[in-house]
Amino acid sequence: MTETTRTVPEQASPARELTQADIDRQMAREREAYEKGLAEGAEPSHHPRRDYAPYRSSALRHPTRPPVAIDTRLDPEAIELSSPAFGETDVTELDSDLTRQHQGEPLGERITVSGRLLDRDGRPVRRQLIELWQANASGRYAHQRDQHPAPLDPHFTGVGRVLTGDDGSYRFTTIKPGAYPWRNHTGAWRPAHIHFSLFGSAFTQRLVTQMYFPGDPLFAYDPILQSVTDEAARARLVAAYDHDLSKPEWSLGYRWDIVLDGPAATWIEEGR
């Protein structure tokens, strides 16, 4: 009798979890490639590539096909895409003060964030809707998908909006957000930041970006911020402390201008 043997298929080893050191090496290679391109005459890139490898989820989220053209003559409902997204009477003074939206005072460092919305020539962009959203002082969003084990603040929702003035100016009063962990890799933490959304006169004109705070030690470790490989463009995402904006015994002030296009444009989360 001949004994037969059966080969057991070899099981694939589980993928090794990437560490901060792995991501640091990837980001260093991306910077070196960008700087080499500049040295060889390439134009500066003010926006990150959509497939920036260290920001791992971008590979799953960014568009891989060209936009689809919509003929509003054939689809009348598509006219909504070019209709105004809001009414001026919908925006109140309370919307821009995130510390007064609940019955009690939120916890954390109160701050004033102000600046101007400008075009490429430095001209003000008037009467435009700016929205923001952010984590609370503990680094947690008031959202059911945020399960970071940090406390929620019942007096802070973390959303606000304002219309720019005739000089393009805006102003928010809020709480400085905390850093928080995310699952891009082992030991990943996002530096404190505030998300900004800018509306034109249509839904299709919406732009989204992020503002950071000066001197954050997490800058060098964050693949989202580092995906903006141009140093000057990256610096434009960081607000400046402005003592003149600070209010005695009330809030610290940060100034951050947003430039919509041109060589000094603020990074936009296009396709993310």
Catalytic residue among 46, 193, 234, 236: 193
Active site (annotated) includes residue 243: no
Active site (annotated) includes residue 143: no
Q: What is the signed CA dihedral for 154, 208, 119, 247, rounded to 10 degrees?
A: 20
Q: Give CA–CA dist 106/80, Å, rounded.
A: 37
* β-strands 110-118, 252-255 pairing: parallel
Whether the CB-CB separation of 186 and 180 falls below 8 Å is answered with no
Active site (annotated) includes residue 141: yes
Active site (annotated) includes residue 195: yes
Catalytic residue among 34, 170, 180, 212: 180
Structure tokens at 88: 């001026």
Q: Angle at Cα 24 formed by Cα 21 and Cα 29, nearest 5°?
A: 130
Catalytic residue among 34, 52, 55, 141: 141
Whether the CB-CB separation of 135 and 159 falls below 8 Å is answered with no
Catalytic residue among 185, 190, 234, 236: 190
Minimal CA–CA distance to 113: which of 213, 208, 261?
213
Catalytic residue among 185, 195, 234, 236: 195
Q: Give CA–CA dist 228/17, Å, rounded.
A: 24
Catalytic residues: 141, 180, 190, 193, 195
